Amino acid sequence: MPNPLIKSHLETAIKSDPHFGQAYYELAKISIEEQNIKLAIKLLKNAINSGLKKTSVSKKRGGALLKKRQFPQAKRHMFKMGLSKYNTSIYFSELAQIYLDLFDLVNAEKYALYSLDEYTDQSTAMYILGCIHASHNRWEKAGRWFIKSLEINFKNAATHLSLAQVKQKQKKSKDAIHHYLIAKDLDQSITSTSLDKLYKKYPEL
């Protein structure tokens, strides 16, 4: 479906439900594709606000039903709250990624941490925090965040590559090569001159 038609459907959905966070998110992704970053940021903030409101409503309703000992109904609202928090964590991490790409590390870190507040296993937010620490040459902290991210999403080539680069900085050559080779297995387009040179020193790996 062409972008204009998709956008029209999403905009109609938002008019029907101004708190339709997923619609804002999908529009934001289209805006990123179209290089309209300012609009993407605005849309993601709308998605976040919608998600936070839905979480708050579900939490209040679930809590009220629990007090009335209406457990099945309360459980449904608690499930909705969990889903809303998970989706909101994605919106936060997407916004953090935009700020990371803009080299606005303060906002990138802020929104990545907000993402983890919503959902502690958000691997994208962990990856972003790793990138931020790596940009400040804080190799140990960067490595820890990349490892945490891989524990959630092991098949992320970019994270393996970033961890390989961190290990190389730490003079942990075999670990660097290990993650570099995994990154290349996952994404054959990945290449690094410095890591390729390092690999030649350990052909047995």
Span 86-95, pLDDT tens digits: 999 999 999 9
Confidence check: pLDDT of 163 > 80: yes
Its sign, for the CA torsion 92, 93, 94, 100, is positive
Domains of the chain: 1-120 (no CATH), 141-205 (1.25.40.10)
Query: pTM for this one?
Result: 0.91
Work out the angle between the directed axes of helices 71-101 and 105-118 (0-180°, nearest 10). 160
The per-residue pLDDT for 67 is 85
**Look-up of token digits 């579900």:** 58
- For residue range 14-32, what is the model confidence (pLDDT) as tens digits? 999 888 999 999 999 999 9
